[in-house]
Amino acid sequence: MNIQSLASFPVARPRRLRQSPALRRLVAETQLNVAQLVLPLFARSGSKLRRPVDAMPGVFQLSPDEIVREATTAYELGVPAVLLFGIPDKKDAKASGAYAKKGIVQETVRLLKKELPSLLVITDVCLCEYMSHGHCGIVADGKILNDPSLKLLARTAASHAEAGADMVAPSDMMDGRVRAIRAELDQAGFGDTPIMSYAAKFASAFYGPFREVAESTPQFGDRRSYQMDAANASEALREVAQDIQEGADLVMVKPALAYLDIIQRVKAEFGLPTAAYAVSGEHAMIKAAAQRGWIDEKAVTLESLLAMRRAGADILITYAAMDVARWLRPG
């Protein structure tokens, strides 16, 4: 921008375009739209189960029948997609529940696709919820092994596709998982199933409440040997580039609000459909402050999501998706 060529005050008066709601709407550069929203849901076995989670008001562990109810409400509100997580009955050291034919995610996907065929069902592909130690890969001698974990991740993704998942979203952060998953999907006849990779996923303290819902807290150590260091932006771009080269169709930045610079650079650099995940801790902060009357929940939620859109996010993964859908309704 050449500052010399711009008109200056009193010719220039930016407030001219802020005089009325209609005028402000006319010149708004960014919009929030219900079509951009994805609602995360947590499935566990049982029926009529709706178990609240302390750290996340409005979020529940749901049995498959309740998932269908929740998804139906979301769908009727215009939310086009859900992101499905599973909490298995049993955990072990090879994450058997993650790729079991009758695993909780597989069963729930089948039911969802039967009851709500036009709802997009995206599945989170990870091992941590299914591992007794809570890590996202196979563990040996206190280390999280990369290459042996790829097989299990690929198997998990293929089992989700087989159950009817419309898209798979690997969140483990092992190197090479997108390539392994693409190869396995193609070989199993799911060449049309897109991959949304959690491409720039940071080792973040904002995931705290999620681990309570998903029961996936690591039993030793932390995730810093596979998730990214919050200090790094150039590395995030390399991570994303690598996932794209391996076959990612959409890329995600996670968390969202504290990483808007990453969202912006990823969108500008690669131009792929880019998702922002407003994670559990972001949700919890807004809820907690709103409950105390310190902030306006609706205004702060919408402003945060708009900021992600302004940064370049096309897709917004948010626990508030249903509230947002209601708030965006005309009238």
Instruction: Measure the CA–CA gap between 165 and 190, rounded to whole angstroms.
Output: 10
In the window 218-257, what residues touch ligand PBG (CB under 6 A)? 223
Strand, helix or coil at 218? coil
**Residue closer to ligand PBG (CB basis): 145 or 186:** 145
Instruction: Measure the CA–CA gap between 73 and 9, rounded to whole angstroms.
Output: 51
Positive or negative, the CA dihedral 96, 98, 99, 104 is positive
Q: Which stretch binds ligand PBG (CB under 6 A): 4-12, 209-217, 231-239, 299-307?
A: 209-217
Residue 115 CB burial class (10 angstroms; 0-12, 13-18, ≥19)? middle
The answer to whether the CB of 178 falls within 8 A of the CB of 250 is no
**Residue closer to ligand PBG (CB basis): 61 or 171:** 171
Contacts with ligand PBG, 164-183, as mask; x by CB under 6 A = -------x------------
Q: Which stretch binds ligand PBG (CB under 6 A): 2-10, 103-111, 210-218, 261-269?
A: 210-218
Q: In angstroms, what is the minimal distance from the CB of 9 to ligand PBG? A: 46
123 binds ligand PBG (CB under 6 A): no
**Candidates 254, 267, 287, 298; catalytic one:** 254
136 binds ligand PBG (CB under 6 A): yes
**Residue closer to ligand PBG (CB basis): 197 or 280:** 280
To the query of whether residue 113 is one of the catalytic residues in this protein, the response is no
Q: In angstroms, what is the minimal distance from the CB of 284 to ligand PBG? A: 9
What residue type is assigned to position 243 of the chain?
D
And the tokens for 20? 């009325």
Among 265, 244, 237, 259, residue whose Cα is nearest residue 308: 259
Question: Strand 50-53 relative to strand 56-62: parallel, antiparallel, unpaired?
Answer: antiparallel
Instruction: Measure the CA–CA gap between 239 and 228, rounded to whole angstroms.
Output: 9
To the query of whether residue 114 is one of the catalytic residues in this protein, the response is no
285 binds ligand PBG (CB under 6 A): no
- Catalog residues that contact ligand PBG under the rule CB under 6 A: 124, 126, 128, 136, 171, 207, 210-211, 216, 223, 279-280
